[in-house]
Structure 1
Amino acid sequence: MSYLFPTYARWDVTIKEAKGSWVTDENDKKYLDFISGIAVCNLGHANENVTAAVADQLTKYWHMSNLFHQPIQEEVAKLLVDSTEGDAVFFCNSGAEANEAAIKLARKHTGKTKIVTFLQSFHGRTFATMSATGQEKIQQGFGPLLETFQYLPYNDSNSLDELKDDVAAIMLEVVQGEGGVVPAQQEFLQKVTETCKRIGALLIIDEVQTGIGRTGKPFGYQHYEISPDIITSAKGLGSGLPVGAMIGKQSLIDTFGAGSHGSTFGGNPIAMAAAKATLTQIFEENFLKEVEEKSNYLLGKLNTVIGAHALVKEIRGKGLLLGIECKEQVGDIINQLREKQLLVLPAGPNVVRLLPPLTVSYDEIDLAIETIAGVFSTIEQSVGAQ
């Protein structure tokens, strides 16, 4: 009997330790981890710099109310501001909370209530962020959603023409992660920014999965010529410690004055120590250059080796957020890869999602490709024999 609510379809694997790109289960079986805690452990497991920073903070203090000044919050906020279009940061504990703050800020600043998001998006599971999510399966069973969200087709520039000046913000991911690893098209994002200007709406970019170096830049939107008003971040921000952030432009600062929003644990010094060590390493120019080089290598291998398989429909993504769209549902494929000691995720019913640590080695990439190719060949042979 479990004392937990069964909200997760858990695999029959119990991890006892993890280091770098590898995790070990209770039976001492090792797995190559191309999940990274769902784009969380961007520096791999148990990164030494993050471990040392957290251990040092633990000897000082663990928690203070946000009524007190905490210099480490300012240090982490500066790292984020210096690497984005933003000017100020609100700290929270998760991506859903960061998106919730963004929605509140946009509505309060504009005085309008409608938020436009996109089909197949994912923004969280609070009532507001669930309502913002353009996927019915996330929303089923919870009764009426918040009525102030409108969903448009992703990458459909023409659909933006219908929008009027009653919109507070347009909110999107530059790569839809949960929605199938679908990158935004340049012309679509340009049309989004033009539309925001035309109707007086803010542009919110949800970087919970695409941020913190995952795409080879500090944030995914920086691959495109756009300047968001609000950026949200979490996942990779704390290397596994719970931390989220909403980053906004100068013009929005006064809207979030004292008492307008808050979080008991937001900006917790332990999480801030992890975030500072994480950002200091990932935002270094040479580190991001290596991520880009590894991405090109992995994508090249996927296209030449995996793309040749009859099972594959398309390979797509950005940086080290990549997807293999298959011609059948991928549940069994993912199970077989796990049996071969490679951990990957689905992104919708037909896409295998790859999220290796940004510190992954070329040898580990080669091993993953070999494992995927082997499983695909086995499945194709079994189908051919039927």
Structure 2
Amino acid sequence: MSTEFDLEALLAARGEERYDLHTRHLNPQLPRMLHTIGFDKVYERAEGAHFWDAEGNDYLDMLAGFGVMGLGRHHPVVRKALHDVLDLSLADLTRFDCQPLPGLLAERLLAHSPHLDRVFFGNSGTEAVETALKFARFATGRPRVLYCDHAFHGLTTGSLSVNGENGFRDGFAPLLPDTPVPLGDLDALARELKKGDVAALIVEPIQGKGVHESPTGYLRAAQELLHRHKALLIADEVQTGLGRTGDFYAYQHEDGVEPDLVCVAKALSGGYVPVSATLGKDWIFKKVYSSMDRVLVHSASFGSNAQAMAAGLAVLSVMEDEQIVARARTTGELLKSRLAALVGEYELLADVRGRGLMIGIEFGRPDSLKLRGRWTMLQAARKGLFAQMVVVPLLQRHRILTQVSGDHLEVIKLIPPLVIDEADVERFLDAFTAVMDDAHSGGGLMWDFGRTLIKQAVAGR
């Protein structure tokens, strides 16, 4: 007879071992990195856009679990939906029936992109991309996929093939046939399409690495070029979708853009359950699933599971009821405009860009001799150290969690839960201003920490 499993008791007994357990049994570099930059915190609970530690200190989340927590943590509607679906004891994942929840979620999703017809449900953003790549190559009968410089589409072998950062690709070759093109460069796209072997272009309407938006008119012109050469447009909306940029999908900021395939994940389950969706045109799905013999030619063991589908339906319901897309647009405009107004005040602050609640803050070479020398020293050690110097005091002194936008980038990316309010915006602005004041004073803890980072960077070479 099995004994009762007590999760609360297990965490109470072993929770303090968390960093040691990771060091011994998981990626050993994660706890090492967190300790080095002072991010080795112990968070006890979370709700909405906030965490609390054991002492009851409140932390503002401007990271949203890399965009997963679109509605913040533990939204009551999504939480109730998961309790409900478990209590129903559904005959889930029999694989030889058609449950209603996947069809209902597909219907709700497709209502936001009426030019698309069908959905494949998987478990992660990289799996959504893998699905799109497979479908595009099969539907067109062509092997090569184009992607943009500095793109990020995932880390499994297929999605890694269209990853624009060599740091992720190094050591994992050979990958799929692929070719990078600069974001916004239509001439480069046309040159590749003329070779006649291109299945698709995959593109993030706003790149997560560095927060670079596709130029106005680019997506529509690229779509026309692709279709003229019988190739497909794949929109990777894994991070930018579901209201993040102030529209349901980021490609919808540009009139007339109708991708052939759209990849969705991250925020679709409210952060509770792994889930992804690849939306596509009817003819593409019918070509892949062309006969009963091919009914399982592309599938996922946990795809369309009841918990993920219920969470997805609850998330879409909350987004509509609470007008989440409009809130992200309004709050994002407030935050971006207030940050942009600081560019002229701080010489280390070079640019503020993005849409909705996906905002990039870029730092650049200062003009004054005193600051220029320190900046040059940091850049010589490792590009990206100044942005890390900003992220650290935001957490250490102001209890605000942020991230550097990518390796060797002097950019901080803000992708908070879409439920942050004006008070949260003011809290971030006050903290960011204080950190900038300290950096421009030429002394203080920031530059002391910079010396620590330089030592780490040099030692890591």
Q: TM-score range by the shorter chain?
A: over 0.9
Give me the whole-angstrom Cα distance separating, in 1, the residues matched to 2:96 and 2:29.
35
User: How many angstroms apart in 1 are the aligned matches of 2:420 and 2:360?
Assistant: 17
Cα deviation code 1:64-117 (max 9, x no counterpart): 233321111111111110001311100000000000000000011111110000
Contact 1:306-1:369 within 8 A present in 2 as well? no
2:105 to 69, 76, 79: 76
Query: Computing the radius of gyration over CA atoms, which structure comes out larger, 1 or 2?
Result: 2
Instruction: Determine whether 1:130 maps to 2:167.
Output: no
Once the 2 structures are TM-superposed, how far is the Cα of residue 27 of structure 1 from its aligned partner?
A: 4.3
Matched, 1:335 2:357: no
The equivalent residue for 1:253 is: 285
More moved, 8-17 vs 34-43:
8-17
Give the TM-score normalised by the residue count of structure 2. Answer: 0.80
Contact 2:333-2:355 within 8 A present in 1 as well? no
Match of 2:227 in 1: 197
| 1:269 shift after superposition | 0.7
Residue 50 of structure 1 is matched in structure 2 by 78
Matched, 1:239 2:286: no
- State the 1:255 CA deviation: 2.2
1:204 alignment partner, SS class: strand
Q: Is the 8 A contact 2:119 2:280 kept in 1?
A: yes
User: CA 1:64–1:161 in 2, change beyond 3 Å: closer, same or farther?
Assistant: closer
Q: Distance in 2 between the 1:299 and 1:96 partners? A: 29
Q: Distance in 2 between matches of 1:149 and 1:335?
A: 37
Query: In proportion to residue count, which structure has more helix?
Result: 2
User: In the alignment, what sits opposite 2:131?
Assistant: 101
Question: Alpha-carbon deviation of 1:118?
Answer: 0.7
The 8 Å contact of residues 388 and 404 in structure 2, kept in 1 or not, is answered as: yes
User: What is the CA distance between 1:57 and its match in structure 2?
Assistant: 0.7
Match of 1:310 in 2: 347
Deviations 1:215-249 (A, max 9, x none): 11111111012110000000011111210010001
Q: Report the equivalent of 1:346.
A: 404
* Count, aligned residues: 384
Q: CA deviation at 1:162?
A: 0.5
The CA RMSD over aligned residues, in Å, is 1.9
Q: Report the residue type matching 2:190 in the other structure.
A: D
Q: Deviation digits for residues 178-227 of structure 1, max 9, x if unmatched?
A: x2000111222222112112211011000000001101111111101211
Higher alpha-carbon deviation: 280-289 or 17-26: 280-289
CA distance in 1, matches of 2:425, 2:331: 9
Q: Is the 8 A contact 1:119 1:152 kept in 2?
A: yes
Letter matched to residue 404 of structure 2? P
Check if 1:275 corresponds to 2:333: no
Q: In 2, distance between residues paired with 1:233 and 1:126?
A: 16
Moved over 4 A (4+): 383-386
Determine if contact 1:98/1:245 at 8 Å carries over to the other structure: yes
Is the Cα contact below 8 Å between 1:119 and 1:135 reproduced in 2? yes
Amino acid corresponding to residue 192 of structure 1 in structure 2: A
Work out whether 1:208 is the aligned partner of 2:238.
yes
Q: CA deviation at 1:141?
A: 2.2
- Using a 3 Å threshold, how does the CA distance of structure 1 residues 7 and 119 change in structure 2: closer, same or farther? farther
Q: CA deviation at 1:7?
A: 6.1
Aligned mates of 1:145, 1:307 — CA distance in 2: 45
Aligned pairs for 1:219-234 (under 5 A) are 219-225=249-255, 226-234=257-265
Q: Measured at CA, do residues 100 and 335 of structure 1 come closer, stay the same or move farther in structure 2, by a change above 3 Å?
A: same
Secondary structure, aligned partner of 1:132 = coil
Gaps of 5+ in 1: none
Which structure ranks higher in relative contact order (CA pairs < 8 Å, sequence separation ≥ 6)? 1
For normalisation by structure 1, the TM-score amounts to 0.95
Of stretches 203-212 and 160-169 in structure 1, the one that deviates more from structure 2 is 160-169
Using the alignment, how far apart are the partners of 2:344 and 2:48 within structure 1? 28
Give the residue type in structure 2 aligned to 1:160: L
- The answer for the alignment partner of 2:175 in structure 1 is 145
Which residue in 1 is equivalent to 2:6?
none
**How far apart, CA to CA, are the structure 1 residues paired with 2:189 and 2:47?**
46
AA matched with 2:251: Y
Aligned amino acid, residue 109 of structure 1: A
Q: What stretches of structure 2 of length at least 5 have no aligned partner? A: 1-19, 290-294, 365-374, 376-383, 448-461
Greater CA deviation, 238-247 or 23-32?
Answer: 23-32
